[in-house]
Amino acid sequence: MEYQQPASAWDPCATLSTSLTLADLSKASSSFNSAYAGEPATPVLRLIAIAKDKGYKRVCLPLTTKKWEERWSRMCLLPIGGSEKDKEDVAKEAEQWRLSPGFRLDETTITRLDEAEGIIAMISEWLELDSTDDWVRHDAEIALKQELAYASYLNIQTAIVPAPRNRDHVASYARIINACLEKCPYINLSIRLPIYNPSVFQPVLPITSQHIPLPTSLLSPKGNSAPSLVISTSDEAPADSGASVNATWEIWDVIRSMCDYNPRLTLTLDLSPALPTTLGVLSKWAAESVRHIFLPSSTFIANMKGYPVLPKPTQQFIRDSMIHRPMIVLAGVGDGHHSKGGEAAYSQYVRHLEKTSAAVLATKQPGTVENFAQGYQDFLQAPLQPLMDNLPSVTYQTFEQDPVKYAQYEEAMYHAFLDHPPNERLVVCVAGAGRGPLVARCFKALDRSKREASVIVVEKNPNAFVTLQQRQHAEWKNKVTLCFGDMRVIDVPEKADILVSELLGSFGDNELSPECLDGAVRFLKPTGISIPSSYTAHLAPLSSSKLYNEARSTKNEKSLETPYVVMFQAVNILSGTKATADNRCGPQVQECWEFEHPRRDAVLDSRGLPFTNSHNARSAKLRFYIPHAGILHGLAGYFEAVLYGNIGLSIHPQRKDQVSKDMLSWFPLFFPFKEPLYLPSNSELQVSIWRLTNDRQVWYEWHAESFISVPAAVGGSEEELLGSPFSPNFSTMATLSPLIDSKDPMYGDATRRTPHDHNNTEHPRYEMVKIGHTSLHNPCGRSSWIGL
């Protein structure tokens, strides 16, 4: 039954699907004649065969017919007229149904396993799981469970659930979804969500249906008395699309969080509404499990020739999404909305977007990190601990394949050599040489710079030291002196002019380069230099449902207190791209600290070693501006290193391409948070991170607090504000105007104040209000420590 895919060199990322309607089904039914030989056995099978012939991999199908909607509505909604006896009969019928819910034959669209194979079930759209009426919600829940039970019976893997409509009852919607995930342990539920839906945010929603009035007790008196949450308070001004996309996401966030990030819960983003022209706000969807993208033909516009194309923002969004391999659900493509191209034009266009997606192209391009990292996206790895563990040869081999890193090292050495007088004999020490790649580059650089040097090679891995001996024997001869042992302990025969090392981790110092080089700088002459000469650690706040679930799923109770090496894909950096104008908040990615080698300020013992490791402790407190609401799941860690002069290494997302493009050796670090932290739009995140050390260990601890700016309440009464909690904000704010007296409640008397620095302005004062925090992570080096 597997559909034959047209032969193509292209390995598609996205799956194309079509969406059939009840109208399609009834048309197929009426024209169906099973008497023809070779004809599929049922109208539905015929429709599916046709869809697959057209190149669609999957078919979306409603499971229930109009008959079911009619019966459910009759049983569960307010009847018009009718006698008391009729009403009681209906109420009894409904109770019987609630007792044992089930369909009649003509209420379902499919009945056979072969009809259901590969089908995605579209759950009845009229189910109001977030109705304002308690009974409607109650009966919609039963109906949803009934439909999912039927889908499960037919072995259907995925069901798309109609969109929530009512912010005020999203919690009820989410609770029902969670109950369904629990009740149907094999099915995947995908929540259909318009990417931008102003109607969700109307002050009061029209109640589309009301329950029969008999059992009124369920209608809690409190249930509907308060006004709905008003996101846009004015009917005249529609919420801007940015806020609306945030609000759509906020609804998804409630559902996903209340379902505890269930991996069987995904998202069907409905692109029917026009997308906003600025895409910053859309990047948040990258961090969510968008499994399907619903794309009706009405979203397409006609190009000059009349062929269907998508508006620019939608184009861009779909191109960017392709990397996540979504299923694109095309709907209404047979309706002839566009004059040219026919039905095939829509899927051809989507394939065109895929082929021109920069993100997809990068994965196909040999030499890029994206290509190199295939299969490693969002895969958590424990960071290497090369000081504690002796690396195997294959690990060295992998790293030696990096074409950029060693070129940069060679270039750094080349320039360092050039800066030495040509006639001086140099001493170079390669500390932690591994299998010798830096030694080889050193000779290349000496060659290019026409300098002479003796090279001292230090390595503590006894296995790699065999390889070094072999290379000495075969290549380097007496130009190198091999020294076996830990650079923090051993001595070398001669002091060096240049110390070269490659001890850096994804976060710079996380593989204990500072501690190792504290020992190795003993090998340097007083005027000697180190390559690298310095390095810095950088952080950015990150959102990723995927990584959060991955970190949790290791089942180790410390799994959320240890940093991971990971190639990011389904992530979103939450911080604004630039520093705020007042410099209160820094840029998107911020520097934590720096290490320089050699240390100029060292206090050393008689062996030339530091007494304690205190000087390698570090701490940073960073402030990030969060423009769009999101969930903080962790911190992304990066490093930059200065090798020599202006030659460096960088995995800083905004600078890596200038500094060391296509370098493959390091994926970023991910510091997870145990509890996701909600960050509203326009908030501030303060991150504290410490690099801590005692006489045996080095480790990081991290913590975050969130703040939002509100009009200052200074001068307000400290009694509870018994009016609206919100209008008092204004009235107290008003007292801050220099034109109005401010009261000091401490002493109970009104003293006049005229702040000079606020004259001639009516700007209200703002204060930062704390709104949340995480716990302290990895306290006392509980895990992820690295032995010294």
Element (H, E) at 692: strand 683-693
Contact yes or no for 93/33 (Cβ under 8 A): no
> Least Å distance between CB 601 and its own copies?
5
Place of tokens 């969109």: 163
Torsion of CA 394, 398, 400, 402, to 10 degrees: 180
17-31 burial code (b ≥16 CB/10 A, e <16): bbbbbeebbeebeee
Contact yes or no for 517/597 (Cβ under 8 A): yes
Torsion of CA 748, 749, 751, 757, to 10 degrees: 10
Instruction: Give first-to-last CA distance, the chain, whole Å.
Output: 60
Structure tokens at 757: 């620095």
Query: Residue type at 158?
Result: T
Residues in CB range of 221: below 8 A, 6 or more apart: none
Residue 699, classed as helix, strand or coil, is strand
> Least Å distance between CB 282 and its own copies?
10
Neighbours of 171 (CB within 10 A): 13
Task: Give the span between the Cα atoms of 573 and 561, in whole angstroms.
Answer: 20
Residue 361, classed as helix, strand or coil, is helix
Contact yes or no for 252/274 (Cβ under 8 A): no
Structure tokens at 211: 């329950």
> Least Å distance between CB 700 and its own copies?
11
Residue 465 vs 699, nearer CB to its own copies: 699
608-644 burial code (b ≥16 CB/10 A, e <16): eebeebebbebebebbbbbbbbbbbbbbbbbbbbbbb
Task: Give the span between the Cα atoms of 423 and 449, in whole angstroms.
Answer: 12
Beta bridge partners of 381: 565
Q: Are strands 301-302 and 290-296 parallel, antiparallel or unpaired?
A: unpaired
Nearest to 390 by CA among 466, 474, 453, 334: 466
Contact yes or no for 322/11 (Cβ under 8 A): no
Residue 474 vs 746, nearer CB to its own copies: 746
Residues in CB range of 474: below 8 A, 6 or more apart: none
Task: Give the span between the Cα atoms of 498 and 501, in whole angstroms.
Answer: 10
Query: Residue type at 666?
Result: W
Contact yes or no for 300/337 (Cβ under 8 A): yes
| Residues acting as catalytic residues | 502, 511
On the CB side of 76, CA atoms within 13 Å amount to 27
Contact yes or no for 557/662 (Cβ under 8 A): no
Backbone Cα Rg of the chain:
33
Contact yes or no for 552/673 (Cβ under 8 A): no
Nearest to 574 by CA among 708, 670, 700, 682: 682
Residue 115 to residues 45, 149, 201, 350, Cα–Cα distance (Å): 6, 16, 39, 27
Residue 494 to residues 426, 528, 590, 707, Cα–Cα distance (Å): 11, 12, 40, 56
> Least Å distance between CB 467 and its own copies?
35
Residue 625 vs 639, nearer CB to its own copies: 625
Structure tokens at 718: 């400290």
Nearest to 697 by CA among 782, 619, 605: 782
